[in-house]
A and B are shown apart, each in its own frame.
Chain A
Amino acid sequence: MAGRGTNGRHGLRGQARRTAALALLVHEECTQLLELYRNSESLPSSPVDGSYLVSIPPLVPQLSDAEKISLLHAALKECLRLLEDVITRQDADFSDEEDSEYRRKRKTVRDRLGHLLASTGQLLVDGQKFEAKVKEELDGQAASGSFGLKMWVVRVLQDLVHWTGQTSDTLRSLPAEMDKAPKTMSRRTRRGAGKIRK
């Protein structure tokens, strides 16, 4: 209930559960955002061909959960950077659409993606830091004009849907395993949290 104190679900398990729920929410909202964009731009609902813009090493079962989270965190970080790039370019080109549902949702997704990034960052293990790669930057598509920009936006949004979905799936599979080693993860998380605060 509101006003409840800090006791209860503020351990690692609670954090992982909240992050999983947030990942699922962001995934849903990214899906809605992509749908809204397609509708607003009258684009076909079929996915744009091509691989994802953001790439990380494959999440093979051999990787630990912490490693998977680190990889996903890196991917989400790039997704957020791409989304902010999209927002900057769209606002520069279509500044007249101030309060469309797409824009409201876009803002929500950006904020919540930032929340997800911060939340997954709490789950990172010390020293495990990966970088994600972005295959195709916007500069490569600039020659295609506004249509190329729109296709690039779609691909960015597809990446958002994909990587938030991956994160959600990965995190939802975590709690049962993380319950087994709460102390280790908790210690690591606390350190990680302190690092983030800095």
Chain B
Amino acid sequence: MDTSHHLLLLWMFLHYAVGSNSSCVKIIPDANDNISLEVGKIFTATCHLVGGSVYTSDDIEWSLENISIAKQSIRKLNETSVSVTIDVTSDMNGWLRCKAAKKTLSYVPPCIYGISLRAGYPPLKPDKLSCIAVQEDKDISPYLNCSWDPGSRNPLIKTTYTVYVQIPVSNMTYKADFEQQLASSHSVYLYTFPIHMALTVWVEVKNALGSERSDKLLTDSSSFAKPNPPLNVKVLTEVNIPNCLMVTWKHPIDRTILKLSYAIRYRKAASNVWIKVPESFTKDYITSFRLQSLEPYTQYEVQMRCIEENHSSHWSDWSTSVTGSTAEAKPASAPDLWRIIQPTSNNRNVTLIWKPPVKANGQILLYYLNISQDEGEFKRDEIKADKLSYSVELPTGKSANIEITAANSVGVSPKATLFIPRTDRELAGVENMSWSVRNEKPELEMQVEWTAVLPTYPGLHLSEYLLEWVKIPQDGHQTELQAGWQRVPYNVTKTTINGDLKKFKRYNISVYPVYKYHVRQTLQTHFQAGIPVTRPAYIQQGTPEYGPNVTVTKSKKNSAELTWEEIPLDSQHGFITDYIIFYAVGNTRQWKTVKVEPNVRSYVLTDLASETDYVVNVWVSTVAGSIPGMDYHFKTMKYGDGEVEVIVVVVCLSFLFLTVFIIMFCLRKREVIKKLLWPQVPDPSDSSIAHWSPDFPIKADMPKEDVSVVEVDVFDGKSLCEEDKAVLPLKKDKYLSEEHSSGIGGSSCMSSPRHSVSDSDEGDSGQTTASTVQYSSVVASGYKGQTPNHQPPVFARSESTQPLLDCEEHPDHLNDSGGHSRNSYFRRGRELEQGVLGQDCDGGSLTFCPVQEEETSPVVEDPPASALSYMPQQSGYRPQ
């Protein structure tokens, strides 16, 4: 439904746009198909108004490809005809329309008619026609493929090529045509290839603008045939004829179709240059041929092709390469013998090295080595073919003549000789040897140049030069000596090393002159090398593999000494040009650089800041580039050399002086210090309380109420009265005091009854007792429910700052003691104490007993057990 609808719309559009047979205008010329126009020509068309049309020629317009044609190209022929003339261009492809329409508004529909134009060229004559029919199975293919040169101009319009093949004798013609604007080949099917027949072949090309025909080829059909390459080509080794190879093959096609002649070419397997056997040797219809004058024990590649015997056909392709080897012959040249001498303490370590003969003519199986030294010493050895070196010790004072031959399965080679003289008989070497690298793409080449040397002795002839290269250092894991050499004619002083020098590896390049002279005594000819000239060299230098690891061996306040090791030679990859030291403070990365010579291994950085973190690394450079080593962090010292010592000495001396000064001061001011440390305790005897008697005499009242100030101190027997000593064993007993006790200060008087003791129960160690704990205690004798019936107790307090020990002193006990000193002490000055002491201990009228010595330990005189009125102090001391 949709399709039919679309077709209807398309038809309506075309009918409107192009016009129809019923249109009121017509174009002459007209055609059902495209009208082909030749590019460059002029084309004229005329538009006619059909009779009865309401239009006139003034209403006619022309357009090409929807573009109106200029009026200059339009010519009014009459009232009903208008012509247009246009230049045909190569891009002119489209509709040429004639339209008749009123220029004012009108209900009359316009009339349109058009013709389709195609611009193009007439075909060119095909040139260089050639045809080929390849072999197919055992016959020639019936398809004849022809090709030609159609010319470079594209016809632009539909063009037909037709290839004709005619057999003149039968007047039979085969043809094949096809449409293509610019064709250059096509094939014709001939059913059966008409071999041994004359054929005529040509090509016709035709389009709307013309036609052309190529030249006819009238020739034997075999000239179109192309046979296959020879079949089963084989190369056979000729036993006992080491310089020949037999080549055999089969005919690719029967001779009744094509009688062939053959061509052979061969080359060494390693070569890319073909050697062609003259065709006159192989022109016959043969199936074998013997290649001669070949090299023994050499692999050759052989190829063949064929052609009709009169060369009327195409050549076949070359056959695939077939290889074969010639038989062995005895070696035709000597091994290339050389030596490397390494001097030892009093000897020479001679390493003989050699290359197999260039013309080995077979597989070398053995080398025969003869070494003859002075005094008739002779050594002969057979060396397997896979070993190409031999070491021997040669004293410096001896010479040696070495001979070597190589043997294969057929025979032995000529011998190579080399003479090694005594150390003091060496011959002169070359001078001014130098090397350079040339960039001969794709590889680099090392060129060595030296000055010529002239023999200095008559009879001494310069035979040749020898160029030697030895890799340094030798790789430890490789057993084979990494060295090479090449010989250079005596008249050459400049050559290129042909060895495979590895990049980034150092080689020692040496040039030796090799002399030749005849020895009359032995009738031998000696070949002896002169003194070498050696230079280190790189074929190509590179950036070192890694940088040196720097360490700081000495770090000072403002300087640091850096040291680094030279990187191994194999890792240097070139000649080191310099080292660059980079150093910076901490993480600032503000690098400072110092460049040093390549032979420097340590450097002292100066002008560093003290006690600062630095980072340093060393770059190593070659001409190819630089590479850094690992960063090394270090810190400069705070003090310079000797500064610490000076400070220590100054401090020590200062301390010493200070100490001496203090001691002197203490000695001179000891009384003052003593007073400061041990302030004078007020003498109780001078206290007002001692003399105070308010309303009654002291003597009468004292037994009732008594104020006792007790000092408990470390026991010191010397400070005790004699009667006290009797109770010494009891000094560690617990002192129970149920009286009011107090520490130092007034608070003691208001404290509740409690234990107050100088020692603890658990351990009355000497240390505890040694510490001076002083209490003051004001004891009211009316305690424990003994309500005094006389005056209230009087509390007295010592004005001394000396700590006091709570103590209980019963008035009765005091009285009972009969004037004995009590366990109440005041610490005070010795002078003062002694003044009082006599009275107290003697009279017993006083209640105070001075302490004997100044540094006494607090000693609690235990009263007699019967008179004990102390309670053990459980909770220790009150803090002072």
Asked if A18 CB lies within 8 Å of chain B CBs, one says yes
> In the assembly, what is the distance between CA of A114 and CA of B257, in Å?
16
> In the assembly, what is the distance between CA of A29 and CA of B835, in Å?
172
Contact B130 A118 (CB under 8 A): no
- Closest A residue to B190 using CB positions: A111
Q: Looking at B131, B168, B192, B314, which has the most chain A CB atoms within 10 Å of its CB?
A: B192
* Chain A residues whose CB sits within 8 angstroms of the CB of B128 once the complex forms: 3
Known contacts A10-B218, A108-B192, A121-B169; A18/B223 CB under 8 A = no
Say which residue of A6, A21, A27, A119 sits within 8 Å of B169 (CB atoms): A119
> In the assembly, what is the distance between CA of A173 and CA of B216, in Å?
32
In the complex, per-residue mask of A1-21: 1 if CB is within 8 Å of any chain B CB, else 0: 111111011100011001101
* Chain A residues whose CB sits within 8 angstroms of the CB of B170 once the complex forms: 114-115, 118, 196
Contact A193 B195 (CB under 8 A): no
* Chain B residues whose CB sits within 8 angstroms of the CB of A1 once the complex forms: 223, 311-314
* Chain A residues whose CB sits within 8 angstroms of the CB of B132 once the complex forms: 2
Q: What's the dominant secondary structure at chain B's contact region?
A: loop
Say which residue of B192, B218, B254, B313 sits within 8 Å of A111 (CB atoms): B192
Asked if B414 CB lies within 8 Å of chain A CBs, one says no
Contact A15 B168 (CB under 8 A): no
> In the assembly, what is the distance between CA of A107 and CA of B139, in Å?
13
* Chain A residues whose CB sits within 8 angstroms of the CB of B224 once the complex forms: 2
> In the assembly, what is the distance between CA of A53 and CA of B216, in Å?
42
Contact A14 B220 (CB under 8 A): yes
* Chain B residues whose CB sits within 8 angstroms of the CB of A29 once the complex forms: 256
Asked if B518 CB lies within 8 Å of chain A CBs, one says no
Contact A196 B171 (CB under 8 A): yes
Which residues 191-231 in B have Cβ within 8 Å of A in the complex? Answer: 191-192, 194-198, 216-220, 223-224
Contact B131 A2 (CB under 8 A): yes
Which residues 53-69 in A have Cβ within 8 Å of B in the complex? Answer: none
> In the assembly, what is the distance between CA of A10 and CA of B223, in Å?
13
Contact B171 A115 (CB under 8 A): no
* Chain B residues whose CB sits within 8 angstroms of the CB of A14 once the complex forms: 220
> In the assembly, what is the distance between CA of A122 and CA of B170, in Å?
9
Asked if B332 CB lies within 8 Å of chain A CBs, one says no
Contact B314 A2 (CB under 8 A): yes
> In the assembly, what is the distance between CA of A111 and CA of B171, in Å?
14
Contact B196 A18 (CB under 8 A): yes
Say which residue of A2, A25, A111, A196 sits within 8 Å of B196 (CB atoms): A25
> In the assembly, what is the distance between CA of A3 and CA of B223, in Å?
7
- Closest A residue to B254 using CB positions: A28
Contact A3 B129 (CB under 8 A): yes
Known contacts A2-B223, A28-B254; A197/B195 CB under 8 A = no
Asked if A185 CB lies within 8 Å of chain B CBs, one says no
* Chain A residues whose CB sits within 8 angstroms of the CB of B35 once the complex forms: none
CB of A169 to closest CB in B, whole Å: 14
- Closest A residue to B312 using CB positions: A1
Contact B167 A115 (CB under 8 A): yes
> In the assembly, what is the distance between CA of A193 and CA of B198, in Å?
12
CB of B310 to closest CB in A, whole Å: 8
Say which residue of A8, A10, A25 sits within 8 Å of B195 (CB atoms): A25
CB of A161 to closest CB in B, whole Å: 14
Contact A3 B195 (CB under 8 A): no
* Chain B residues whose CB sits within 8 angstroms of the CB of A4 once the complex forms: 217, 219, 223, 312
Which residues 164-198 in A have Cβ within 8 Å of B in the complex? Answer: 193, 196-197
Asked if A22 CB lies within 8 Å of chain B CBs, one says yes
Which residues 165-185 in B have Cβ within 8 Å of A in the complex? Answer: 167-172
CB of A36 to closest CB in B, whole Å: 13
CB of A7 to closest CB in B, whole Å: 9
> In the assembly, what is the distance between CA of A29 and CA of B138, in Å?
12
In the complex, per-residue mask of B650-687: 1 if CB is within 8 Å of any chain A CB, else 0: 00000000000000000000000000000000000000
* Chain B residues whose CB sits within 8 angstroms of the CB of A121 once the complex forms: 169
> In the assembly, what is the distance between CA of A9 and CA of B311, in Å?
13
State which size class the interface on B falls in.
20 to 34
In the complex, per-residue mask of A104-124: 1 if CB is within 8 Å of any chain B CB, else 0: 000110011011001101100
> In the assembly, what is the distance between CA of A10 and CA of B218, in Å?
9
CB of B221 to closest CB in A, whole Å: 9
> In the assembly, what is the distance between CA of A180 and CA of B217, in Å?
29
Q: Looking at A4, A19, A197, which has the most chain B CB atoms within 10 Å of its CB?
A: A4
> In the assembly, what is the distance between CA of A114 and CA of B172, in Å?
11
CB of B188 to closest CB in A, whole Å: 14
Contact B168 A193 (CB under 8 A): yes
Q: Looking at A19, A114, A118, which has the most chain B CB atoms within 10 Å of its CB?
A: A118
- Closest B residue to A117 using CB positions: B170
* Chain B residues whose CB sits within 8 angstroms of the CB of A75 once the complex forms: none
Asked if A76 CB lies within 8 Å of chain B CBs, one says no
Contact A10 B198 (CB under 8 A): yes
Asked if A79 CB lies within 8 Å of chain B CBs, one says no
- Closest B residue to A22 using CB positions: B196
> In the assembly, what is the distance between CA of A197 and CA of B220, in Å?
18
Which residues 17-61 in A have Cβ within 8 Å of B in the complex? Answer: 18-19, 21-22, 24-25, 27-29
CB of A37 to closest CB in B, whole Å: 18
Say which residue of B216, B217, B220, B257 sits within 8 Å of A25 (CB atoms): B257
> In the assembly, what is the distance between CA of A183 and CA of B611, in Å?
124
- Closest A residue to B133 using CB positions: A2
CB of B185 to closest CB in A, whole Å: 13
Which residues 787-832 in B have Cβ within 8 Å of A in the complex? Answer: none
Contact B219 A6 (CB under 8 A): yes
Contact A9 B196 (CB under 8 A): no
Contact B195 A9 (CB under 8 A): no
> In the assembly, what is the distance between CA of A147 and CA of B224, in Å?
43
* Chain B residues whose CB sits within 8 angstroms of the CB of A8 once the complex forms: 219
- Closest A residue to B139 using CB positions: A108
* Chain B residues whose CB sits within 8 angstroms of the CB of A108 once the complex forms: 139, 192
> In the assembly, what is the distance between CA of A113 and CA of B192, in Å?
11
> In the assembly, what is the distance between CA of A121 and CA of B168, in Å?
12
- Closest B residue to A109 using CB positions: B192
Contact B168 A2 (CB under 8 A): no
Say which residue of B191, B197, B313 sits within 8 Å of A18 (CB atoms): B197
Contact B223 A22 (CB under 8 A): no
Known contacts A28-B256, A107-B192; A3/B217 CB under 8 A = yes
Say which residue of B198, B256, B314 sits within 8 Å of A15 (CB atoms): B198
* Chain B residues whose CB sits within 8 angstroms of the CB of A15 once the complex forms: 169, 198
Say which residue of A3, A10, A21, A114 sits within 8 Å of B131 (CB atoms): A3
Q: Looking at A108, A115, A121, which has the most chain B CB atoms within 10 Å of its CB?
A: A115
Known contacts A15-B198, A18-B198, A22-B197; A3/B218 CB under 8 A = no
Contact B218 A24 (CB under 8 A): no
Contact B194 A18 (CB under 8 A): no
Contact B218 A5 (CB under 8 A): yes
> In the assembly, what is the distance between CA of A112 and CA of B170, in Å?
12
- Closest B residue to A189 using CB positions: B169
- Closest A residue to B130 using CB positions: A3
* Chain B residues whose CB sits within 8 angstroms of the CB of A28 once the complex forms: 254, 256
> In the assembly, what is the distance between CA of A15 and CA of B130, in Å?
22
Q: Looking at B132, B195, B197, which has the most chain A CB atoms within 10 Å of its CB?
A: B197
- Closest B residue to A24 using CB positions: B256
- Closest A residue to B216 using CB positions: A6
Extra A-B contacts (19), CB below 8 Å, given A18-B198, A112-B195, A118-B169: A1-B223, A1-B312, A1-B314, A3-B130, A4-B217, A6-B218, A8-B219, A18-B196, A21-B256, A22-B195, A107-B192, A108-B139, A114-B170, A115-B170, A115-B194, A115-B196, A118-B172, A122-B169, A197-B168
Identify 6 residue pairs between A and B in the complex whose beta-carbon atoms are under 8 Å apart, listed by A's number. A2-B131, A2-B219, A3-B131, A4-B312, A115-B169, A115-B196
> Lowest 8 CB-CB distances: which A-B pairs, in order?
A111-B192, A118-B170, A22-B196, A6-B218, A3-B130, A25-B256, A118-B169, A21-B196
- Chain A interface (Cβ < 8 Å from any Cβ of B): 1-6, 8-10, 14-15, 18-19, 21-22, 24-25, 27-29, 107-108, 111-112, 114-115, 118-119, 121-122, 193, 196-197
